[in-house]
Structure formats: structure tokens, C-alpha cells
Chains A and B, each alone.
Chain A
Amino acid sequence: MPNRPEYNCKNYEHPATVAADVSGCRKGTCHGKINRRTLLGVGAIGAAAIGYPLARRLLSVSSPVFLARNQRYDGALTETIAAGLSAVGFDSRWVRGRRVLLKPNLVEPLASAPQISTHPAVVVAAAELFRRWGAEVTVGEAPANIRDTEMALVESGMTDALRGEKLPFLDLNYDEFRRVPNAGRCSALREFSFPSAVLDADLIVSMPKLKTHHWIGLTASMKNMYGVLPGLVYGWPKNVLHYAGIPETVVDINASLPPRIAIVDGILCMEGDGPILGTPKPLGLLAVGMNLAAVDATLARIAGFDPHRVPYLAMADGRIGPLAERSIIQRGERWADVASSFSIVDLPHLQAMRP
């Protein structure tokens, strides 16, 4: 393990929000005249310097990430996902008889804005594959901004898809939960309350939509894990996490959960003022990986970010997985061949995440 500088959360200037949750614009762009102190002051960032208790062994090996281009929601997604999992070394025999939880992103779905939520076709394709391999598959989500989860399912089109496949859905906002220690310790939170179904899963599959995020740059497989925490304990929005620091808690949550892999819906993405009101960005991409930090770092490069300048990814480097290009083995397409810079809100903290 090479020596690395000690990470201090204070090094990361970011506008994590405590009084505003995720949102976005209908049209237009921001004007960038916001008082800098105001912008930085809203992030209640934990100050503790932290070491590397986690994932050293993960970082000693390279992590493969599979990319497939020209994907469509009405295409052969099951086969693409199967090829991707095989390419990143996933042993399909391992899942037989095991509990697999698929976690899409349904933060605040709207039927007329399909760029907000993970498309049901991707979830159904993954479910079909894991069932084919003998797994017991459940879909679960805890939408952050609305208490009526059933409305989120209807608006995202997930209700019909789940019913068609007889896939059980767990409303993680209201499911029974248990407390576990915060294994990341980037934030001041000592523990997390996770739904029992999440803790009891043998494998969690993070299935985000690739989107820009006006506070933290971009949201993909790691930030998607915010959506396993129950609103009953964290609120709607999960303001407790905002107060504890968004980058810090993204890393902490990922450090504290059972094993996860990522299957990312990058077919129709979101750019601009994501993660709610941004505009559609067709990319035709499907990403698969066993290490969420490596997957998100690759997606950041594709979207025109320097992963080392995205605060939660920089914090994850050395704890959750590798960010460096040399440590990420490219399978399928090369990231540079599918790169397409995502537009972002014209704010200094976001522009600073560009290469």
C-alpha cells in the first residue's frame, strides 16, 4: 500500500446542503453570484482527520469496470448485463440460493421526466438474470423526497414492471431496521439504521441513473446507496445526512453496507441541474462493476469530471476502492471512446471538478 496523504474532511470545499435538498432547474442556468461564504457554509463538514481502516485489500488489486455502448431500453439488456458481470469476474454460481437486493434510484420520479429515475427495463433485465442464476431477487428503495412511495413507483413506471415480472418490492423507508456501527468514520455519525432486508441481503446491486448533481458533481452507484436509509429515521429529505456532510456520509454508508456491485443505467442520463430537474442526456451506456468507487470514477471521467476532484470520490479513494485509471481495468468499451461531457450548473464548486 503506497503512502498517501492523510485525508482531512476540511480539505474538501463543497456546498453540501442542510436547508435545501436535491433539486434542479426547469430551464436556464444559474448566474453564479452567490456569496462564496454562504455557499461553503452550508456544508456542515466533519473535521476529523481519518485514516484507512477500510478496504486496503480492495485497493491492492485492480478493479475491472465493464462498459457497453449503443444500449436501448428495448434491447437485449439481460445479455449485456450477463456479459458485463462475466467480464468483471462475477461468479454466477455464487448467487444460487442467495438473496439479491436490486436498488434502483427513484428519488423523486416523474412520468414525464424519465431522466430522473432508473428505467424499469434495466431493473427487470437484472432481475431476470439473477433469477436465472437461482437467486431470490427483491427490489427495494427508500425515496428521499416523497413519503408516498407508491406514487414514486407509479410515476417511474416501476409498478407495472414489477407486477409483470412478479417481483417483490420492499419500501425501505418504512421497513424494519437495525443499527450497525459506522464503519467509515468520515462523518461524526456513530452508527447507521439500515433496513433489515438490506443487512440480510447477500448481495446489494446498486442500480442508479447516471446524473449530474448540483451539490456534489455527479451521482451514480455510491450516492445511490443513500436510498437504502429509512426516512422514518433520517427524514424526508434525509437531512441528518446533509448535516453530517454529504461526501462523508456517502463514503460512510458504502463502508458500512454488505457487499455491493453496480449496474448503472447510463442509457438516458441527466445533465445540467441534476439530480431532479436536469435535462435528458442520451448516452446509450450500461456500466457494470464489482467495486462502486471504480465504477463511479470511470463514469465521472466519461461525464467530464476529474474523479479526484469530486469530493466524495476523492474521499472514497483509499477506503472504498480505486480511482486511478491505472487501477481500473477497462472491459468492453474504453471509457475514452464513450466519453461525452455532461453540462453542469455554472458554479465554482462544480467547475472545480472538471479536469
Chain B
Amino acid sequence: MTWLDDAVQCLQAIPVCGYRRKAQPAVEPTSLAALALLAAERGDQAASALDWLSDRQAANGSLGINADTPRPCWPTGWALLAWNNGVKTLAPANPRWSDAAHRATDWMLSVSGQPVHTSSDMEGQRRIFGHDTTLQGWPWVEGTHSWVEPTAINLLALRSAGKAAHPRCREAVRLLLDRQLPDGGWNFGNTTVLDHVLRPNTQSTGVALAALADQPDIERKAQRSIDWLARNVSARTTPASLGYALIALGRFGHWPSKADQWLRSAGEHVLVPDGSPCCAALLILAAKRGLR
């Protein structure tokens, strides 16, 4: 048995899962588990996760955090990505997933980050925020500003729904590139504040790059971030960040020579009694080059 077998077995046992193994099931971890199980060709267990997600969908197409918390709805993008991967991978696919994906897509296109127009002085505004605050993207919580990770996940999700050419997707690409840090990498979504450059972090950079992969001419536009990520991922990188980083580097053909060793070590770290199913799923997706 390898760490990968163990990780897959772990998710097979709890395809509907929470942020910890013993926690209440939640939409994001269950979506990640479904994606990982699909990548590992465990269709039956993935299907039960996808069905659970369908049961959680609200009439307007959105999904909240878990069964008890219908808002905020940022996990909807994860569910959409999982359903679309299920429809493409499994035969026959449950028609409920296609229907759920259509409704989630419609909801997603109806929601956007809150632009900030505090002044006609755009130059002053950019000095404070460092980015174009009029680009919509997606927020964590409806009614607030757009940030990197929800925009990246929803971009991935809409592309999986065949909406890559939709104006909202094109704008999301612009937003992510606008939030790219001058020396490479992304953080939660501010480049500079009050003229001063902020620091990148590994997970946000991995998520943003994974979402931008397949975009035309993207290597040139994001090369500094690919380089930053390749330089900063190491044996010290914690499992969630490692998972996202390797997913992204794999998409750009920059798989580190020690990646398999790091994955094994991280896999052993998360496969503990109350470990994180999210981390297990991310490591599987990285190993299987599975998040698309």
C-alpha cells in the first residue's frame, strides 16, 4: 500500500465529509472528495458525494457551507466543478448532476463581487487598493468585494461548464492577472495597499495558476508567478498549500523533481485519525494531475 492508496481508501470510506474526518459534512470538502475519487477512478463513491451535493442545492442553484448554513454560497463553485467532472467521467451520469450544474451555473453568473467606486479619482483609488476595484470577479460572501480564490475557483467551474468564452470568465482572467503581485505570486487579493507591496502565499498562488492554466499566452503573463511558486514550494510546505502548488505546477509542466517525495510525506501527515479530508483530496488531485 502506498500513501496514495491509503488516501483514496480514506476518502472512499467517507466521500461525504467535513473539514475534519469527524466533523459535520460540508460542501467544499465533499466536492474535493468527489473530484479526487473521480481522478482515482472510484466512480461509485464519487457518485454518492455528487448526490449529496445535489441534495444540498437551494432552489436558486446555490450551495452554502453545509446543510445548516445555506449562506454564504461561495462553495457553489466547488460543487459545480465536481458535478461537471462527474458528468464527463462517469457513464451513465446521473441526470440530476447535469440539472444541478446548469442551475449552479446560472446562479454563479448572477452573482459578482461588489465593485468599489469611492471616488472619481481612479489614480488615488488604485494607490489605496492597488488593483482595479471595478472588475467584478466573485466574493467570498455575497455583497462584498471580489477576492482571488473564489474568483479562481468559479473560473475553473465555469470553464468546466463550457463557459470559457463567457464575458464573466474573460473578466475573471483579467481580474486574476490584475491581482498578480509585481514579483510574482498571489495572496488573498491585494497587490499593494497605500503604495506598498504585499506578500504572496503558496495556496493562493496555486489556486490562481490552476485557474489560469489553458488560457492563451498565459505562460508569458504569469511566468513570474510560476517561477515564484517553483522556488517556494518545498518539503516544508504544508499539505493544503502543497496540493494546490503541485496541481498548478503540474498544469504548467513544472513538476518538481522531489514532488513525489513531498507528496508521500504530506500524505502520511494527513492520514491521521482526525486528519483533513480536504488535504487528502488535494494531494490525490496533485498526484493524479486531476483538477481541471
Contacts and interface: CB of A to CB of B under 8 A. Distances in A.
Contacts of A174: 19-20, 23
14 contacts: A23-B198, A25-B197, A26-B197, A30-B196, A33-B127, A35-B125, A41-B118, A147-B203, A148-B202, A148-B203, A174-B20, A233-B65, A233-B72, A235-B141
Interface stretch (A236-244, A249-257, A280-288): A236-244
Interface in B163-215: 187-190, 192-199, 201-204
Contacts of B149: 147, 236
Interface in A262-295: 273, 276-277
A38 B125 contact: yes
A150 B238 contact: yes
B202 A273 contact: no
Interface stretch (A13-21, A128-136, A329-337): A13-21
A277 B202 contact: no
Interface residues of B, number: 52
User: Which 10 A/B pairs are nearest by Cβ-Cβ distance?
Assistant: A235-B140, A25-B196, A41-B118, A38-B119, A23-B193, A35-B124, A174-B19, A239-B144, A150-B238, A35-B121
B203 A234 contact: no
Contacts of A17: 128-129, 193
A107 to B, nearest CB: 11
B145 A239 contact: yes
Interface of B: 19-20, 23-24, 26, 65, 69, 72, 74, 114, 116, 118-119, 121, 124-125, 127-131, 133, 139-141, 143-145, 147, 149, 187-190, 192-199, 201-204, 236-241
Contacts, number: 155
A31 B3 CA distance: 53
A23 B190 contact: yes
Contacts of A30: 194-196
Contacts of A34: 124, 127-128, 194
A214 interface: yes
Interface of A: 15, 17-21, 23-26, 28, 30-31, 33-35, 37-39, 41-42, 108, 110, 145-148, 150-151, 154, 171, 174, 176, 214, 231-237, 239-240, 242-243, 273, 276-277, 345, 347
Contacts of A39: 128
A243 B143 contact: yes
Given A38-B121, A273-B196, A277-B196, A146 B188 contact: yes
A12 to B, nearest CB: 17
Contact of B118 (A37, A277, A345): A37
B241 A151 contact: yes
A239 B141 contact: yes
A329 B149 CA distance: 47
A156 B118 CA distance: 36
A320 to B, nearest CB: 26
B238 A148 contact: yes
A250 to B, nearest CB: 18
A338 B199 CA distance: 33
A174 B127 CA distance: 33
A28 B197 CA distance: 11
A352 B241 CA distance: 41
Contacts of B121: 35, 37-38
Contacts of B19: 171, 174
A154 B236 contact: yes
